[in-house]
Amino acid sequence: MIQTNWVVERLRQQWPDLEIAIEQIRTTGDQITHVPLTQIGGDGVFVTEIERALQERRIDLAVHSLKDLPTAQPDGLQVIVAGPREDVRDIFVSNQAFRIDNGRLQPADAESTQNPRIGTVSLRRGAQIREFYPGAQIVPLRGNVDTRLRKLESGGYDGIVVAAAGLHRMELHPQLAERLTYFPIEMMMPAPGQGALGLEIRNEPETQALLEPLRDVVVQAATSAERMFMRRLGAGCYLPIAAYAEVVEEDLVLRGLVISTDGQRSIRVRQSIRWSTEDGIARAELLGIQLAEQALDQGAQEIIQGSNMLREREQRRV
Ligand SMILES: NCc1[nH]cc(CCC(=O)O)c1CC(=O)O
């Protein structure tokens, strides 16, 4: 709703005469909170019902966190990426006593810093934590940001990992300031699209023209590169894959990570192209594909296969 209100505000500024009504859609994914996402249909669970509403013309625009959108849209729908992009980093929120410093929980003399309990259901986050902190125990933790924070208060975790974007949008970071550690991007690579808004519409020129002023070509190019990297690797939210692209001086620089769920094996890749707005999005997508192929050349398939096997085992446990 916060994201939607923001988009509505921007649209009103742009088109004062436009009539806008907000339609709140609760998806199956929002309501099932006690089962791993992999068991209720994977990464589409939050969006298929919303996309159906678009296709059936019950709504004309859907506002998504881009990172929750599958990397390919159904026929007849397209995504316009709005900027500016929120902080792309992940944050460690500790319970009262701990901070992460140089990749280690502090104070180092506390007993639980050997094997801290860290809450997340994200394979991407879990794998990266295990890589830089082999003693950490990854403890499942699902729900919206506020639910997860509440569960942190109830004990059982030394800390949890959330997206900075979520905390910032909800303006929860000031009151939590003393308990937050912002992970450097190299230490905790973000999910493709993290921090960006995806505006999904039908392929209709009139709606596209209304949304066009909200499009941020740089953010759309960067996130397209990230999303194509993930798509070329055959990935959804059940694969520990991370990517981050940004324009640095004249270049669009894309970094990618494929990591085994146990954090034991990882492949880090990086490529860049000259940035120009002309064909910028199409060229960024190619960059994503090329970087994925570089990762495949370095053996990414083996890591991905291992992760798929784990997921299938989990699904059979239902
Ligand atoms: N995983 C769910 C989700 N989808 C988008 C955000 C935050 C906003 C964003 O990243 O754009 C979050 C919360 C989180 O990952 O902690």
- Let me know: does 121 contact 261? Beta carbons within 8 Å: no
Q: Is residue 258 part of a domain?
A: yes
CATH number, residue 117? 3.40.190.10
Q: Which of 43, 60, 68, 146 is catalytic?
A: 68
Question: Of 182, 202, 218, which residue sits at a domain end?
Answer: 182
- Tell me: do 59 and 8 sit in the same domain: yes
- Tell me: do 128 and 104 sit in the same domain: yes
Using 50, 70 and 90 to split pLDDT, how confident is the model at 318?
very low
Asked if pLDDT for residue 288 goes beyond 60, the answer is: yes
Asked if pLDDT for residue 167 goes beyond 50, the answer is: yes
- Tell me: do 250 and 170 sit in the same domain: no
Of 139-148, 170-179, 302-311, the least confident: 302-311
Torsion (CA) 103, 104, 106, 112 in degrees, nearest 10: 140
- Tell me: do 205 and 282 sit in the same domain: yes
**Alpha-carbon span 138 to 119, nearest angstrom:** 6
- Pick from 65, 118, 173 the residue to mutate for probing ligand 1's pocket: most ligand atoms within 8 Å of its CB: 65
- Pick from 68, 89, 93, 223 the residue to mutate for probing ligand 1's pocket: most ligand atoms within 8 Å of its CB: 68
- Tell me: do 161 and 112 sit in the same domain: yes
Q: Which atom of ligand 1 is nearest to the CA of 90?
A: 16
156 vs 225, more confident: 225
Q: Is residue 237 part of a domain?
A: yes
- Tell me: do 69 and 213 sit in the same domain: yes
Asked if pLDDT for residue 247 goes beyond 90, the answer is: yes
pTM across the whole model = 0.92
Residues with CB under 6 A from ligand 1: 65, 67-68, 145, 162-163, 165-166, 194-195
Over the stretch 201-241, which tens digit does the pLDDT of each residue have? 999 999 999 999 999 999 999 999 999 999 999 866 567 89
Q: Is residue 73 part of a domain?
A: yes
- Tell me: do 125 and 23 sit in the same domain: no
What pLDDT is stored for residue 276 in this prediction? 93
Helices (H), the chain: 2-14, 28-31, 48-55, 123-132, 145-153, 164-169, 173-176, 205-211, 217-232, 280-297, 300-316
Question: What is the rounded average pLDDT for all residues in the chain?
Answer: 90
Q: Which atom of ligand 1 is nearest to the CA of 190?
A: 10
**Alpha-carbon span 84 to 10, nearest angstrom:** 12
- Tell me: do 78 and 195 sit in the same domain: yes
| % the chain with pLDDT above 90 | 74
Could you list the residue range(s) of the whole structural domain that residue 108 is in? 90-182
Q: Is residue 263 part of a domain?
A: yes
Asked if pLDDT for residue 271 goes beyond 80, the answer is: yes
In the three-class reduction of DSSP (H, G, I as helix; E, B as strand; rest coil), residue 249 is classed as coil
- Tell me: do 151 and 222 sit in the same domain: no
Q: Is residue 276 part of a domain?
A: yes
- Pick from 2, 4, 67, 93 the residue to mutate for probing ligand 1's pocket: most ligand atoms within 8 Å of its CB: 67
- Let me know: does 144 contact 152? Beta carbons within 8 Å: no
CATH number, residue 29? 3.30.160.40
| % the chain with pLDDT above 70 | 92
Domain count, the chain: 2
Whether 30 is a known active-site residue: answer: no
**Alpha-carbon span 241 to 260, nearest angstrom:** 9
Q: Which atom of ligand 1 is nearest to the CA of 122?
A: 1
Question: Of 139, 154, 182, which residue sits at a domain end?
Answer: 182
**Residue 175, strand partner residues:** none
Q: Is residue 275 part of a domain?
A: yes
Q: Which atom of ligand 1 is nearest to the CA of 161?
A: 16
Question: Of 156, 182, 208, which residue sits at a domain end?
Answer: 182
Q: Is residue 12 part of a domain?
A: yes
**Alpha-carbon span 73 to 78, nearest angstrom:** 6
ipTM of the complex: 0.91
- Tell me: do 24 and 82 sit in the same domain: yes
In the three-class reduction of DSSP (H, G, I as helix; E, B as strand; rest coil), residue 54 is classed as helix
**Alpha-carbon span 51 to 102, nearest angstrom:** 43
Over the stretch 106-131, which tens digit does the pLDDT of each residue have? 777 777 778 899 999 999 999 999 99
- Let me know: does 192 contact 243? Beta carbons within 8 Å: yes
Of 58-62, 102-106, 205-209, the least confident: 102-106
Residues 6+ apart with CB under 8 A from 308: 239
- Tell me: do 202 and 237 sit in the same domain: yes
What pLDDT is stored for residue 180 in this prediction? 93
Helices (H), 119-197: 123-132, 145-153, 164-169, 173-176
Asked if pLDDT for residue 97 goes beyond 90, the answer is: no
Distance 165 CA to ligand 1 centre (A): 7
- Tell me: do 230 and 168 sit in the same domain: no
What pLDDT is stored for residue 197 in this prediction? 98
Q: Is residue 315 part of a domain?
A: no
Distance (Å) of CA 304 to CA 229, 230, 237? 13, 11, 12
Residues 6+ apart with CB under 8 A from 252: 221, 222, 225, 245, 246, 272, 273, 274, 275, 280, 283, 284, 287
Give the number of other Cβ atoms within 10 Å of residue 3's Cβ.
18
